[in-house]
Amino acid sequence: MPDNRLDAAVTLPGEDFSRVALTPEAVELLRKLWRRHGPLMFHQSGGCCDGSSPMCFPAGEFITGDSDVLLGLFDISEGLQPEPLEFWMSREQFEYWSHTHLTVDVVAGRGSGFSVESPEGKRFLIRSALMDWPV
């Protein structure tokens, strides 16, 4: 993974490593979207089609609960409201991906109409890499 990625703050009890990161391109797009929509959050549900892409929402618009895991918190606040960007994943999906490190990146194309980047002609996607330490 690139060294210039932004690693999330650790949120899982007993862990001392980041499970999720953002590429510089993702940070740039997120700051643009934050200025337009206010604080943001990600939710990764898994599944097929757009369900396998991380969905970006205004913070609190997607209701999380016991069936979700908070994988990390990002500080992208440079010049923005200082509120962390949360990255959530469904607990069921986390069971499948618990051995991977996730990096949120941006590519050209349209993703789901529910994710706030959709009108930009770009979409977020996950690049995963196997972790080389026990979890």
In a domain, 135, yes or no: no
Within a domain: 62 = yes
Give the chain's residues under pLDDT 70: 1-3, 47-52, 111-113, 133-135
Strand partners, 111: none
Tally of domains within the chain: 1
- Hey, how many other C-beta atoms are within 10 angstroms of the C-beta on 46? 15
pLDDT, residue 77, reads 87
First to last CA, the chain: 19
Taking the C-alpha atoms of residue 98 and residue 13, their distance in angstroms, rounded to an integer, is 14
Q: Which domain covers residue 90, as residue numbers?
A: 6-130
Domain presence at residue 41: yes
pLDDT at site 108: 93
Q: Is residue 1 part of a domain?
A: no
As a whole number of angstroms, the distance between CA 112 and CA 120 comes to 12
The per-residue pLDDT for 126 is 93
80 within a domain of the structure (yes/no): yes
Q: Is residue 85 part of a domain?
A: yes
Q: In the prediction, which pLDDT does 110 show?
A: 77
Position 79 in a domain: yes
Q: What is the pTM of this model?
A: 0.89
Strand order in the sheet with 40-44: 9-10, 68-74, 85-90, 40-44, 55-58
User: What is the pLDDT, as a whole number, of residue 113?
Assistant: 65
In a domain, 76, yes or no: yes
Note the pLDDT of residue 86. Answer: 97
What CATH number corresponds to the domain at position 67? 2.60.300
Q: What are phi and psi of 111, to 5 degrees?
A: -95, -145
Instruction: Give pLDDT, residue 2.
Output: 52
**Helix boundaries (H) for 1-133:** 24-37, 91-97
